[in-house]
Structure 1
């Protein structure tokens, strides 16, 4: 069974490698702004499916000229049978009036500063959706992980120093919890890998549902790699 990760995220690639399964990365070119929802669970599930489906269709139609242009890495390769993994993450934080705000990826440093200021000294929710599509049969399975993350009351100077690292680029909520932003972490309830962008235990369970055998103990691997159980 061939495995494809439909994401350009370095961290998702790293996390998936912890399962000790061979896989290939084919980046999905799906426009994330084309799907909107006020329900974060529905949003990440829909986006994860859409990302996986775009790559699934590219694999199915490798000979199409447009596919060759967008995905030259598919040229001359055969992918049967194949499972495609898609994932998406959003952050949800409470506004002062009690309403919920969904945070995706920042457009620039100014928006990243706004997002991280909104998360400072608060508990926020992290939703990550994972979808797996069987290229041959069209069968798909989807799971959504929800975790709670609490940031400490970091200073404006600490925030400015963090922004200088540019780690916020292309990160939901403008941070990567296993990177420099780990210093902001006060408490975590749920899946660390879900917060990073690919809930590994849920992903492993879905892959097993689709017929793959996972050769590692996910909890032990995550604990050894991060110091956190997953």
Structure 2
């Protein structure tokens, strides 16, 4: 079976290599702004991942398994996406300081051969220690926060702010491996 990752994310590629050795990368150009957040973060990330998978589905000619994911950070029921600029990154990181927030990863897998589709999400609680303005500035100057939901990468320098997590570490990185393994087992049948 042909496998397709609908993402250009290096982190997702690195993680998917742990489950699948050969796959194509076809980044989805799905317009994420077309999905309106209505207050249910789990539903929102599932819709985002579904949109990404469906976007490339019509261009696939041979039977394939399409894997798409989306990750967002939520604090007090507000979604924190990727920062617009350094000031936005600073505000996000300051809002996360000393608090527990949630990281949601939506995942959709489509088997184009039998039209089977599974879409789900994983939610992980992440607690930050208190971080100073100087630490936030230093971190922003690394450039790492600028393409990350919530303005941090747990697998990079941002991991030093994490006091504890309750849930799936890989979901926080961007691809919930255990959930994906179980979905693939069910969808390839």
Q: Tell me whether the two structures share a fold, i.e. TM-score over 0.5.
A: yes
Partner SS for 1:42: helix
Q: Matched residue pairs, number?
A: 188
Partner SS for 1:87: strand
Partner SS for 2:109: strand
Match of 1:93 among 48, 70, 75: 75
Structure-1 separation of matches of 2:114 and 2:146: 36
Give the TM-score normalised by structure 1: 0.79
Measured against aligned partners, the alpha-carbon deviations of 1:31-84 in whole angstroms (never above 9, x if no partner) come to 111101221011000010110111111224xxxxxxxxxxxxxxxxxxx32000
Q: 1:51 maps to what in 2?
A: 52
Structure-1 separation of matches of 2:83 and 2:123: 21
Partner SS for 1:176: coil
CA contact (8 A) 2:124 2:171 kept: yes
Structure-2 separation of matches of 1:141 and 1:17: 20
User: What RMSD, in angstroms, separates the aligned Cα atoms of the two structures?
Assistant: 1.2
Structure-2 separation of matches of 1:35 and 1:187: 31
Partner SS for 1:202: helix
> Which structure has the greater CA radius of gyration?
1
Match of 1:177 among 129, 154, 162: 154
Gaps of 5+ in 2: none
Q: 2:165 maps to what in 1?
A: 188
The 5 Å alignment of 1:41-190 reads: 41-60=42-61, 80-94=62-76, 100-190=77-167
Task: Give structure 1 regions of 4+ aligned residues with deviation exceeding 4 angstroms.
Answer: none
Q: 1:209 maps to what in 2?
A: 186
Match of 2:175 among 186, 191, 198: 198
Q: 1:30 maps to what in 2?
A: 30
Q: 1:64 maps to what in 2?
A: none
Q: CA shift at 1:169, angstroms?
A: 2.1
Structure-2 separation of matches of 1:140 and 1:116: 36
Gaps of 5+ in 1: 61-79, 95-99, 213-230
Partner SS for 2:78: strand
Partner SS for 1:169: helix
Higher strand residue share: 2
